[in-house]
Amino acid sequence: MIHWDFEYMLAPYVTTGLQHGRLYFGFGSVQREVVDPVEYEPLLTVASLWKSYKTPRQVFEEARDGKHKLTDASCHRAIAMLGEGDFLCEKNTLLEKDERYKRPWLYYNLNGANPATVQSKLASSHVVILGCGGIGNFMATSLATAGVGMLTLVDGDSIELSNLTRQFLFSEADIGGKKIDVLRRELLARNPECKVDVLDLDIKTSEDLRKLPKADLIILSADTPGGLVWWMNDFSIELSIPFLNVGYVVDVAVWGPFVIPGTTGCWSCQSLVAEDDAPDTRVQSLISQVNRGSGAASTGPVNMMASSGALLDVFRYLGQFGSVESTNKRIGIWTHSLRIETQNCALNANCQACGHKQGGKLNSARTTL
Ligand SMILES: [Zn+2]
């Protein structure tokens, strides 16, 4: 809702045009279709008068004067429509031409948030990225360049030739170097305002997670050892640190559930993955034989797609705007058909892992896949 005496201007992302016999005003999330041609001129006049900072009162007066001659009612309708739909930016919510965060600030405006407030929340956030491969590269780059205040990169691996198809901040010259060190160097080259710590660590047991620093969010972008996500789930619940798993199931790009302990469903609240243990020992043995020596397909686009979906949620969570889409569900994009599948992960009061956080009884926590 706009204030009659505050200054606003038409947001730079608002454009308009005629198609299919109607006026489209704004595109994307702010899009409105104006069907009645009588409404075109008042709306376009008011919008054209608002290309610089003015109060609604000033625009109203200008639109009614001798040059434009709009009626009071049509002026009010046009101003009301612009005021209700994130078409206007309040004064001091736009940055100058060469400022670093100019474009993201438009995005925060588009989402109905105050950009300065979002930027401040990002700057005071600390995110741990556990796994600095393809997804870790994309996630870390977006978070650092957007102004997240602190990142801790966790990985024990060195860079190999076969990483370069998707771990885009690494080059041939970096082969043999530690992923965390090269990634840190490349992030600081892009945004020295971000503080980047590194932790040279291969997670081998659930106890190793205790070496992670306290943070606002952990991004789990490592898929080994088996059982890691369950260890992380228990760790997250015990220390009340939110975490988000990002990865892929063969060619399905997957993120979620976004676990906020005590608030959302966790990995154990519902059945999310196929079990590899079976009551029948013969079947168990065969499953193990089939799964032995498996290796995940991994390409740049699938890594990027999972990272992109997850990043939208991470920015909404840290910046506290919009809604985090992957809470209480796990989202998968089938990359060959672009079908989106979601798995329910609603909070379960009898959950063995997080039930106690909800006032239920704590049973023995699951520690293996
Ligand atoms: Zn749970």
Q: Give per-residue pLDDT as tens, 172-217.
A: 999 999 999 999 999 999 999 999 999 999 999 999 999 999 999 9
Distance 365 CA to ligand 1 centre (A): 10
| Three-state DSSP state, 180 | helix
Look at residues 284, 251, 272, 281 and name the one whose alpha carbon lies nearest to residue 329: 272
145 CA distance to ligand 1 middle (Å): 33
Beta-carbon contacts of residue 280 (< 8 Å; ≥ 6 apart) = none
CA of 246 to the centre of ligand 1 (A): 18
Give residues whose Cβ lies within 5 Å of ion ligand 1.
266, 268-269, 351, 353-354
Quote the ligand 1 centre to 353 CA distance (angstroms).
Answer: 5
Relative to beta strand 195-200, strand 150-155 is: parallel
User: Does residue 12 contact residue 106 with C-beta atoms inside 8 Å?
Assistant: yes
Residue 364 has pLDDT above 50, yes or no: no
- CA angle (133, 289, 284) in 5-degree steps: 110
User: Which domains does the chain show, CATH number per domain?
Assistant: 8-90 (3.90.930.70), 124-358 (3.40.50.720)
Q: Tell me the mean pLDDT in the region 106-127.
A: 96
Q: pLDDT tens digits, residue range 245-296? A: 999 999 999 999 999 999 999 999 999 998 777 888 899 899 989 988 888 8
108/111 Cα distance (integer angstroms): 5
8 alpha carbon – ligand 1 mean position (Å):
45
Contact 295, 302 (CB under 8 A): no
- Beta-carbon contacts of residue 115 (< 8 Å; ≥ 6 apart): 93, 95, 101, 104, 105, 106, 108, 109
- The confidence score (pLDDT) of residue 6 equals 95
Placement of tokens 């939110």 in the chain: 242
Model pLDDT for residues 292-349, shown as the tens digit of each residue: 888 888 899 999 999 999 999 999 999 999 999 999 999 999 999 999 999 999 999 9
Residues 6+ apart with CB under 8 A from 211: 199, 201
